[in-house]
Structure 1
Amino acid sequence: MSHYHHVCSLEDLKKAQTLGYEIEDHEGFLVMNNTNVLAYRNSCPHIGMNLEFSENTFLEPDGRYIQCAMHGALFEIDTGLCIHGPCLNQYLEPVQVKVEDDQVLVSI
């Protein structure tokens, strides 16, 4: 049975656009795309490395794609599909996320 854990306020995520988190042994990140809140495991499907360039920096400079810092793989924000790089056509692992009372929670 999965349990939801608080990560941040919706307002904090809106300001940052992406936020990394670690809960127990689970590393993931949140991304705000328009009004959608999405969450993925912080692991590139290529070799399992963390994705971010620096703390809470998961997007390429234009902010249109999630980018792996190791080999530059690009992933669609809404689907997690790799569209460029060594893990082409593979997906980031999604994490269940919900917003309650303007607080963002993830399931682990």
Structure 2
Amino acid sequence: MDFLCASDALPEGTSRAFNLARATLFGVRRQGRVYLYRNRCPHRGIGLQWSPEASLLDPSGQLIECAHHGALFRVESGECVAGPCEGEMLEALACHEDAKGLWLMDSTAPADVDR
């Protein structure tokens, strides 16, 4: 397991990017649950945001947005609902949260997301 951050470093309704030696990923906290995805748009295979500090959510805070071409993805499933990769999915990753914070379980293990 790889430690990502303390729980309070990913507040409700926000996103955060993480750069590990073996993976670039991001998390979104929605209704107390953390959804973790590989930071790679299925359309072009590039990261979703312009800079590491930028939000990965659209202005409404309801969808994940690719800053490069405007594709929109559901937070709970990673499914693209608008844009050039509509119907494709972000790669979900398994995570665990405990008293110490948020952990990446295994960067090769898919997460159990609401699909």
Q: Same fold (TM over 0.5)?
A: yes
Aligned length, in residue pairs: 105
Q: CA deviation at 1:101?
A: 1.2
1:99 counterpart = 2:90: no
The 8 Å contact of residues 28 and 34 in structure 2, kept in 1 or not, is answered as: yes
- Structure with more of its chain in strand, by fraction: 1
The 8 Å contact of residues 11 and 102 in structure 1, kept in 2 or not, is answered as: no
Q: CA deviation at 1:82?
A: 0.2
1:89 counterpart = 2:87: yes
1:74 counterpart = 2:40: no
Q: What pairs with 1:19-38 in structure 2 (closer than 5 Å)?
A: 19-38=16-35
Q: CA deviation at 1:43?
A: 0.3
For 2:50 and 2:14, how far apart are their aligned partners in 1?
Answer: 15
1:40 counterpart = 2:45: no
Structure 1 stretch 45-54 or stretch 88-97: which is displaced more? 45-54
Q: TM-score, normalised by structure 1?
A: 0.91
For 1:15 and 1:65, how far apart are their aligned partners in 2?
Answer: 14
Unaligned stretches of 5+ residues in structure 1: none
Q: Secondary structure of the equivalent of 2:93?
A: coil
Structure 1 stretches (4+) deviating beyond 6 angstroms? Answer: none
